[in-house]
Amino acid sequence: MNISKDEFNTLLKNKKNFIITNAINGDELTPIGVFQNLTSKNKALLESIGKDGNKSRYSIIAITPYKKVYGEKDIINIVDEKGSETLNIDPLEYLKIETNKDIKSDFPFLGGAIGYFGYDMKKNYENIADAKRDTLNVPDFYMMFYKNYIIFDHLMDTVYFAKTILADEDNPLYEEIEKEFSSLEKEITTNRDIKSIDQGEKIEFNSNMEKSQFEKMVTTAKEYIKNGDIFQVVLSQRFSGKFTSDEFSIYRKLRRANPSSYMFYIEYDEFKVLGSSPESLISVKDGIIKTNPIAGTRKRGNNDLEDEKIIEGLLNDEKEVAEHLMLVDLGRNDVGRVSEIGSVKVESMLNPQKYSRVIHLTAMVSGKIKKDIHPLEGFKSVFPAGTLSGAPKIRAMEIINELEEDKRGVYGGAVGYISFNGDIDFAIAIRTALLKDSIAYVQAGAGVVYDSIEENEYFETYNKALGVMEVMG
């Protein structure tokens, strides 16, 4: 244990928040194997691959949530060991109260809430009408609170069992934590066999619209652009198909084929959310806010030489470059609303990044968040991403509501965590699947500008979705 019994009791007596851990050798343990062998429900797995193609230092498995918070608009449902209640409060305001603790650690996640905010949360903060049709029937947001989690330190080949202790809540005895960690170690080390991937039957995906319908949406959007309503709008289509394999195998196939900065698998009671997103919506750590716009896409070539030619063409494509610069500017404005004057900077832009099926132009915008502002105010300022809505953002979202028939759900929203100290890290929910009632849902969009070609935009959405659908089965 990282602290003794006497230190533990002194910290409790002094009303301190802290993290107690126990470290074990982790050179034979993997997040996939451990996740499979854990028997608890409602787990969450967060993994990451760096830009160099190697694993990021940490992976996280959160276990045994003590509270679930979900709902729509300003109606939130809270379920915990005491029962359930419904409150009339903006979800971000509630989450601010719950994640405003004085607690420090070198770990990226310090305990807190993990989950998603769906695209349709936008109506909480802007006067945007409800979508015409809801065929998914999942909450607009769903966060689960965890005090118990497992941290994989891949650099040091160490696995930490961690528990967050909050001074203002009931806490277990030191001996109880020792017993809990011992039981957890036994559970994950007794059986280290990793189950083979369940391939299942091939999934036959179908779109929620005909090709002609999508192209008609693009034509209508271009009229709005010509009339000066907007500069750009992101239109999407959703694919769905019945799957027969187990859900975690689908995630394993996706992470293998599409390793990305944000890989996640979250178990809810009635559905699963999984993904491999390359794009950060927002991160706030130590007072620094960052967002990572991605705009500009090409299908990859068959070899490195073809890729280089494609990148050259992408960087010389006036449409793609203009769209990229427009969304970088939007990201800069979003970050600027909550940052200290003069602190906002574009760290990079027009940076080509190769992914499994496509090449993207990426950027990074950062700022120093204003004092006395909770990081969730930063989340509100950038949500939803301009790369999933358009510019100007509000008018683009109104046009999306007019043209798209179905509520987007998780797609286009954000998946990630809020630590108890307020640090946040959320990916944009792209390259993401919702698994519910044996149906897999995958959605993808394309940015429409004044000179967009209807068929090209259709195939851009199809190719983006194909990168997920092909590996799912």
Q: Rounded to whole angstroms, how far apart are CA atoms 162 and 61? A: 10
Given a contact cutoff of 8 angstroms between Cβ atoms, the answer to whether 465 and 443 are in contact is yes
Q: Rounded to whole angstroms, how far apart are CA atoms 332 and 19? A: 35
Is 324 annotated as catalytic? no
Is 116 annotated as catalytic? no
CB contact burial 242-275 (16+ within 10 A = b; e otherwise): ebebebbbbbbbbbeebbbbbbbbbbbeebbbbb
Torsion of CA 367, 370, 373, 379, to 10 degrees: -20
Residue 43 DSSP one-character state: -
Q: Rounded to whole angstroms, how far apart are CA atoms 323 and 318? A: 8
Q: Is 276 helix (H, G, I), strand (E, B) or coil?
A: strand
Query: How many Cα atoms occupy the beta-carbon half-sphere of 252 within 13 Å?
Result: 17
- What one-character-per-residue DSSP string does 425-465 give? EEEES-SEEEEETTEEEEEEEEEE-TT--HHHHHHHHHHHH
Active site residue: 431, 432, 461, 467, which one?
431
- CA-CA distances (angstroms) from residue 353 to 54, 264, 322, 325, 448? 15, 20, 18, 16, 21
Q: Rounded to whole angstroms, how far apart are CA atoms 7 and 395? A: 56
Nearest CA among 124, 139, 126, 210 for reference residue 405: 210
Q: Residue 212: in which H helix or E strand, if any?
A: helix 211-226
Q: Rounded to whole angstroms, how far apart are CA atoms 363 and 353? A: 10
Q: CB-based contacts of 93: which residues, under 8 Å, 6+ apart?
A: none
Token pair in block for residue 136 = 């998914």
Active site residue: 70, 146, 160, 411, which one?
411
Is 360 annotated as catalytic? yes
Tell me the one-letter amino acid at 428: I
Active site residue: 422, 447, 467, 473, which one?
447
Q: In terms of residues, how long is the chain?
A: 473
CB contact burial 322-347 (16+ within 10 A = b; e otherwise): bbbbbbbbbbbbbbbebbeeebbebe
Is 154 annotated as catalytic? no
Is 192 annotated as catalytic? no
Active site residue: 154, 360, 374, 408, which one?
360
Active site residue: 21, 164, 387, 461, which one?
387
Q: Rounded to whole angstroms, how far apart are CA atoms 145 and 80? A: 10
**Active site amino acids:** 360, 387, 411, 431, 447
